[in-house]
Structure 1
Amino acid sequence: PEVRAALLSFQRGFAQERGAVLDGRDIGTVIFPDATAKLFVTASLGARARRRWLELRAKGVVAELASVEADMGARDALDAARTAAPLRKALDAVELDTTELDPGAAFQMALRLVRERLGTVGAV
């Protein structure tokens, strides 16, 4: 709790000074609940597991896809059930499902959604 409180203060101060793009399970629900633009980025468990499995293979790590998927599913369950800042979509967040998107397409879609939410191109 003490470390979390210190991080909360740091994150809020950092982003309010210059603006920021932040990523984390509770950025839109706890850290910046009043942020103008919030994305809840998601993908199917299968797609996320495959991406992680490919990352591991590229690093020379031997892993079974089924094992990676099982581990991710277990972590998802823990993240959703945790007492402090569980993983959940903020009510005013725009959901971006990247299951069928490559990284470039996901970025372009995120940029478009944020620009729409902010109402200006220059504010991004």
Structure 2
Amino acid sequence: MRIRIVTFGLTIPVESYNAHAVQIAPEFTAWPGLLGKWWLSDTVSATFGGVYLFASRRDADRSRETGLFQGLFANPALKDITVQEYDVLDTATAITAPTTQTSALQETP
């Protein structure tokens, strides 16, 4: 599995961003291999973004080719964008945060 963490600041009011997030959220369901997306918000530090869980590195790589991902960098409402990706330690994660993908590791014959 692969995790992507995206953070950014806003040049628009938080309420406008929230409305935009709700509007585009369904588009993420079209990304093959995206197991989940969590929307981040820290109004104290004015940091927003998302955490994405992909089934594989290949799925994460393919998502970067989409207009939805590329539009992130062209959106004037967002500033100071950072994108970081990490592999998941599958065996340990299966113990602490089982998902459909990792729960199979715990099945007994």
- Normalising to structure 1: TM-score of the pair? 0.27
Q: Which has the higher strand share?
A: 2
Q: Of the two structures, which has the highest relative contact order with CA contacts closer than 8 Å and spacing of 6 or more?
A: 2
Q: Which structure has more helix as a fraction of its residues? A: 1
